[in-house]
Structure 1
Amino acid sequence: MLKLERHQLILQKLKTHRKVHSTILSVELQVSEDTVRRDLKELEAQHLLHKVHGGALSIENKILSYNERSVSDLDKKKQIAKKAVKLIHDGQVIIMTGSSTNLELVKLIPANINSTIFTYSLPIALQLSHHPTIEVIFIGGKLNKSAQVTIGIDVMNSISKLRADICFMGTDALNIERGMTESDWEVAHIKKGMIESSDYVVSMCISTKIMEARRYAVVPINDIDVIVTDDQIDESLLVPFKERGIVVM
């Protein structure tokens, strides 16, 4: 089998299954694992997949590190933050996910706002530590060093005992049929718990993630109260959400 044919078959399997294993590819393509690894390396160099230990993930399945997310689409995230900060008022109990969009949001909270913010994000907690009147409660657990957030059963248990007035939810993908979805199974469960513990849910979603879908369900679209997005959105994409009674900012 020619190399080009192998590459096409690998990409086709990624499109269908979102991930491939080197050992299985070696058998299916009838080549050595070293050859498979070289193929995956070449395809990664072309930005067609994300190579990981033992195989590869599709590009959309790659979970970006915090540093990668913090500089990606920064202008859009700042636009979203400027809109969302209008929803923050005195006396609220707020819960926030560890999104880089939420980091931009907390930078804009006025100095005279007096509220309580729960978060499992180290960067957000550190940023809020400079705010004069916000009470910051950090949700402890096992630290995911790449994402700079805590994860695990301790986080889930803490969230289940909370009752928040409003939740600002970083969003990996939002779809009218599939609702809010996530690329990471554990993150999906934590976000679901946060939404269940909140009276009002705000989806912080850049325009390129609207009408997208990922592998793991978080909540149906009717569990979202507000979508805050950037000004580059195609307005026609927002119509189905508005028809469901969701406020769009």
Structure 2
Amino acid sequence: MLTSQRKKAILDALDRDGQVLAGDLSAAFGVSEDTVRRDLRELAAQGRLQRVHGGALPASAAVAPLAAREDMDVAAKQRVARKAASMIEPGQVAIVDGGTTSALLVQCLTPDLTATIVTHSPGIAVALAAHPCVEVVLIGGRLYKHSVVSVGAAAIEAMSHIHADLYFMGVTGVHASAGFSTGDYEETYVKRALAARAAETVVLACASKLNTASQFRIGGLEMAQTLVVDAGATAKQTRALEEAGLTIVRA
């Protein structure tokens, strides 16, 4: 089998099964595991998959720069954002993550909503500056330019004083075995710290992020209670996530 044929077979298997194991591929192709690992390395370098111990998972496309992500899955993100915004009750304290879906979420808040929004995203804070009834708490720290959010020790220290009702968490990947993931190491610590300060963590993800993974793991599926997905998410995509205990809300 040619290298190009093996790589296509690997990607087909990822699309079909959601993961591949190097040992199984080696046996199926009749080649050494070293050859399979080389194929996986090359596909990972092209952004086609995410390597993990023993094999690979589908790679998330949501690790592109912010400007590029603003044009991805816009209609789906808008539906997810509207559903998420409707979950905030008057008087609640809600933490809103950075990211393109979160930016749409705050645009969907009704003008008469009285609530407190805590965010480590300067863009989210500025977007809420003109809201007549929402109090805004902006967490500072080192600016992570890729997502335009504050990260680092100062941000995590500030979060320790918060008790929130909800945390709307953005991720780049949701996978039944790999959990929630993102494309930046420091962001994982910030997201874990925010989740620890909320009574309920709600993950926002359009269908393209389901059953994919990025380089850095935020945590297992148990760290969230609810997953808001767009209506384009199929039952096959969400079945394992529901079986893991997540409440799936379709927008």
Provide the TM-score with structure 1 as the length reference.
0.75
Output one character per residue of 1:56-97: Cα deviation in whole Å (capped at 9) or x when no partner: xxx858842222222221111001112112211111111111
How many positions carry a matched residue from both structures? 207
Residue identity matched to 1:139 = I
- In the alignment, is the contact (CA less than 8 A) between 2:97 and 2:121 conserved in 1? yes
Alpha-carbon distance change, 237 to 140 in structure 1, aligned in 2, over 3 angstroms: same
Q: Which residue of 2 aligns with 1:15?
A: 40
Shift of 1:19: 7.3
For the residue of structure 2 that corresponds to 1:71, the secondary structure is coil
Query: Which one has the bigger strand percentage?
Result: 2
The higher radius of gyration belongs to 1
The structure whose RCO (Cα within 8 Å, separation 6+) is larger is: 2
Residue identity matched to 1:16 = R
For the residue of structure 2 that corresponds to 1:94, the secondary structure is strand
Shift of 1:14: 8.1
Counterparts of 1:229 and 1:70 in 2: how far apart (Å)?
17
- In the alignment, is the contact (CA less than 8 A) between 2:60 and 2:209 conserved in 1? no
Structure 2 unmatched ranges of 5 or more:
5-36, 49-58
Provide the TM-score with structure 2 as the length reference.
0.74
Q: How does 1:1-249 map to 2 (within 5 A)?
A: 13=38, 15-16=40-41, 48=46, 63-249=63-249
Runs of 4+ in structure 1 displaced over 4 angstroms?
17-20, 59-62
Counterparts of 2:193 and 2:42 in 1: how far apart (Å)?
27
Residue identity matched to 1:121 = S
- In the alignment, is the contact (CA less than 8 A) between 1:13 and 1:19 conserved in 2? no
Alpha-carbon distance change, 184 to 128 in structure 1, aligned in 2, over 3 angstroms: same
- In the alignment, is the contact (CA less than 8 A) between 1:93 and 1:166 conserved in 2? yes
Residue identity matched to 2:228 = V
Counterparts of 1:218 and 1:65 in 2: how far apart (Å)?
19
Alpha-carbon distance change, 155 to 14 in structure 1, aligned in 2, over 3 angstroms: farther
Counterparts of 2:183 and 2:148 in 1: how far apart (Å)?
17
Counterparts of 1:17 and 1:193 in 2: how far apart (Å)?
34
Structure 1 unmatched ranges of 5 or more:
5-11, 21-47, 51-58
Alpha-carbon distance change, 74 to 114 in structure 1, aligned in 2, over 3 angstroms: same
Counterparts of 2:44 and 2:233 in 1: how far apart (Å)?
30
For the residue of structure 2 that corresponds to 1:110, the secondary structure is coil
Shift of 1:16: 2.7
Counterparts of 1:163 and 1:205 in 2: how far apart (Å)?
24
How much is the aligned-residue C-alpha RMSD, in angstroms?
Answer: 2.7
